[in-house]
A and B are shown apart, each in its own frame.
Chain A
């Protein structure tokens, strides 16, 4: 079919649209479309926090206050108390910031015409560096720099092997930086590419009908409905993925933090 022949070009065009393009300045010093929406998301989050703080009362009222409190309590109970354990209060602000920041960026990105701030590797790398530095800092603080470096190798492993394990663990620790950044970025990027592809397919099948209304074109436009249904389904899945990725990033950071501190407690 003619439409399917056009598809690869359209998809390539779509993917090229997803690559970072500077809005102000250039790629090394300026703002890209992703940074723009990241800044917008940050402002939205700040507004949400201000409004929430004003509206929060001893007896919570309304969907907004209850909903936001539910998110905070979820991070507190599920990630803070559930993963970090007894030191959760110390790390809660950082974990909560991570979760809310990623969540708002992912959600803003789902609004048609907007992009997720987390859809660029630069943004997710910044967050991963924060998480990396954070857990290394608390590992070193609880345990001493040398102690923390030594503690990477598990205890109870005999001499030649423990060096090898230490090297592997050191490598895996640094790999966390990359995996955190790439996982979030790829999920957001791929999700939006898939949604974009189905949107293109839905519009391509519809185009002949829009140009000239005829029975043949109407029949030809029928697959559009199927693509549209799939698009809506993927949209719903992306909503869930947006929340899950925020959760995964935060939970993994919490695990790394608790692991770093746990090592210190053992000794």
Chain B
């Protein structure tokens, strides 16, 4: 080995050593850092299999049932809402109908009450009129009866007074008046005149 080659070997090794030391230190850190970003088969394969299992289970077993239930629920809710809306509309229509029936009934009831009141009023008037009439008839009849009674009592009283007067006169005069019958007639006429005066 000649000198020049020896020199170059030393220079090379020295420079290699100089270069290598920081490089190796840097390479350790760099390798550790880069190592994190290199996928390991021990993690890659289990993840591949695990995800495949989840995908198959979800796609073939779990999701169809889950989605079916959720869709059924959605449909049911929609139907229920439609039904509720329909029922509400029906209820509104029925309410309007019942309202009109109630209004009609109230109107009819008012008419009936009015008519009944009118009938009662006319009946009352008729009864009162009949009562009045009857009362007037009774009063008139009573008047007639009283008049008749009065007349008969008066006639009786006049006859009694005439008899009494003749008797009294006979007693006073001390002898029987001539022609009794004639005297009696006179007295009665007097009484009648006096009665008619009294009556007026």
Contacts and interface: CB of A to CB of B under 8 A. Distances in A.
A130 B49 CA distance: 11
Nearest to A22: B42
A130 B51 contact: yes
Contacts of A19: 32, 35-36
Interface string A29-49: 111101100110110011001
B43 to A, nearest CB: 3
Interface residues of A, number: 55
A122 B42 contact: yes
Interface in B47-76: 47-48, 50-51, 53-55, 57-59, 62-63, 65-67, 69-70, 72-73, 76
A123 B36 CA distance: 12
Contacts of B48: 126, 129-130
Contacts, number: 130
A49 B39 contact: no
Instruction: Tell me what chain A mostly uses at the interface: helix, strand, loop, or mixed.
Output: helix
Interface residues of B, number: 33
A127 to B, nearest CB: 6
B43 A120 contact: yes
A80 to B, nearest CB: 11
B36 A121 contact: yes
Given A56-B69, A96-B63, A122-B47, A45 B40 contact: no
Contacts of A34: 43
A225 interface: no
A96 B42 contact: no
A73 interface: yes
B41 interface: yes
Given A53-B66, A97-B58, 15 more contacts: A26-B42, A31-B46, A35-B43, A42-B50, A42-B53, A46-B54, A49-B62, A58-B76, A69-B70, A93-B63, A120-B39, A122-B47, A123-B44, A130-B48, A181-B39
